[in-house]
Chains A and B, each alone.
Chain A
Amino acid sequence: MAEKMIIPFGPQHPVLPEPIHLNLVMDDEKVVDVLPSIGFVHRGLEKLVKKKDFQEYTYVAERICGICSYMHGMGYCLAVEGIMQLEIPERAQMLRIVGAEFSRLHSHIMWLGLCADAFGFENLFMQSWRLRERILDLMEEITGGRVIFSAVKIGGVKRDLTPEMIAKIRAELDAMEPELRGLADVFIDNPTVRHRMEGVGVLTAEDARRLGVVGPMLRASGVAHDVRVTGYSGYDKLRIEPTVERAGDCMARCKVRIREIFQSIDLIRQALRILPEGPIDVPVKGNPKGEYYARLEQPRGEVIYYVKANGTKFLDRMRVRTPTFANIPAMVEIIKGSELADVPILIVTIDPCISCTER
């Protein structure tokens, strides 16, 4: 019987985009238990709603996380608009969708890079992020920011898309698609990548449901659940199907995210095709009163925004249930029983966004 020992993983680790600490209880090279501790990036942002004007809080909501920034802003705005029952113009809804799908694109390409880095394939990591740079440059041209797009406000969007920008988006997406396919082929076909990812971290559909998993992790285990299908904020005008894989291992999750990259490109093209003319915002009068529950599909899964307002310009309560928070129990489950060398890839496979988790 070997001696058990504890290896601390994180909060600083090359593979982690944000700090999380895991105590891995090891039995030789096998992990038998995982004790997570989160709280390194807690900034008390939910308490801050009581101190900032509800319109000003949009800037804070966008900065909950750098990677999912756009959809945090969008989720907050959707929740407050739901309380105030504002009708967002169609053009603004489509522009929000374009921004949201670009946010998903950049996040998934970033994830591909981190996944490659997790098993040491640095060249592939650099190539993925090189492609991601083109998206970030495009977003800077359109919204003004590379990572914090800051394009959504309560009532609509801040900036409109000019016809030249629309043409440029189309041209860039057409140019990037073959390069992205080349990148995806390496992930799917390369024997070393497959060796590291196939059969690793299998999560069955029953376990996924039991643990309350969301997002690509759920869809990779065979459950067809995508919040965009419910048709919030203009998604009902687009053709969407959840991307589902059956295997439930790391390779399946990688495939789901790769297919979602191409699905996002398709959704952007659809949105630009049906982009109607019209105003991009509605004026916001008065203060919100009531509560609302907004659900969005962030790159990492389903995010829930619960907002409660009491008629003053400060909100009473804002609660964000981020997808990574829902996926951490599943991460703990799949790490138990795995080899130590697989732990980085298993952590990255849930696409951890700890800043979101710990607001």
Chain B
Amino acid sequence: MYPARARTYYARTRGSIHNRIDECIFCGFCMRKCPTHALEVKKADREWSINRFACIACGACVEACPKKCLDMKNTYTPPATGKSIDHYFRKEPATPAAPAAPAAAQNPAPVQAPMAQAAPAAAAAPAQNPAPVRAPAKAQTPVPPKSEAHA
């Protein structure tokens, strides 16, 4: 009923941020660049969450993302009666199919980047297989057995 004519938004309208979670490597750059601390990236849980009501849609995260998996959509967060946090979870692939392999190969090397103070050599060798083993060990996640199977 209201509004009588739906408003058309422009292509560049800064509305809300969405993450193509299957491409996300949980590096956390977006979280660091966010001026309002609206983003939370949990590498261990493979979770990326955004506080919709803290986000000011400035686009700093979109520019900072190394994988360009964040999009600025031109639709605004709908008004609500309570603040909300949107969580994006990256599900583990069921079988080591072809899409999973490149994901596993990409994942470990950039993930190392934030923790790479102790192991800069590992960050410099992105495609090597030993790298996946190191990253999960440092992070002490329950994931290591699965990623070895995928690699």
Residues in chain A within 8 A of chain B (CB atoms) = 52, 56, 59-60, 63, 140-145, 150, 158-159
Contact = CB atoms under 8 A, between A and B. Distances in A.
**Interface SS of chain B:** loop
Interface in B38-85: 56, 58-60, 72
A150 B12 contact: no
Q: Which 5 A-B pairs have the closest CB atoms?
A: A144-B14, A141-B10, A144-B12, A59-B35, A56-B35
B144 to A, nearest CB: 34
* Chain B interface bracket (under 10, 10 to 19, 20 to 34, 35 or more): 10 to 19
B35 A150 contact: no
B18 interface: no
Contacts of A142: 12
Given A142-B12, A144-B12, A150 B33 contact: no
19 contacts: A52-B35, A56-B60, A59-B60, A140-B9, A140-B10, A140-B12, A140-B13, A141-B10, A141-B11, A142-B12, A144-B10, A144-B13, A144-B14, A144-B59, A144-B72, A150-B14, A150-B58, A150-B59, A158-B59
Contact of B12 (A59, A60, A63, A159): A159
A140 B10 CA distance: 7
Interface of B: 9-14, 33, 35, 56, 58-60, 72
Nearest to B14: A144
Given A52-B35, A56-B35, A141 B12 contact: yes
Contacts, number: 32
A143 B74 CA distance: 12
A322 B45 CA distance: 47
Given A143-B12, A144-B14, A145-B14, 20 more contacts: A56-B60, A59-B35, A59-B56, A59-B58, A59-B60, A60-B35, A140-B10, A140-B12, A140-B13, A141-B11, A141-B12, A142-B12, A144-B10, A144-B12, A144-B13, A144-B72, A145-B13, A150-B58, A158-B59, A159-B12
Contacts of B56: 59, 63
Most buried by A among B12, B33, B60: B12
Contacts of A140: 9-10, 12-13
Contacts of B11: 141
B56 to A, nearest CB: 7
A49 to B, nearest CB: 13
B5 to A, nearest CB: 14
Most buried by A among B33, B35, B56: B35
A343 B111 CA distance: 62
Most buried by B among A52, A60, A144: A144
A80 to B, nearest CB: 16
A150 B57 CA distance: 10
B28 to A, nearest CB: 15
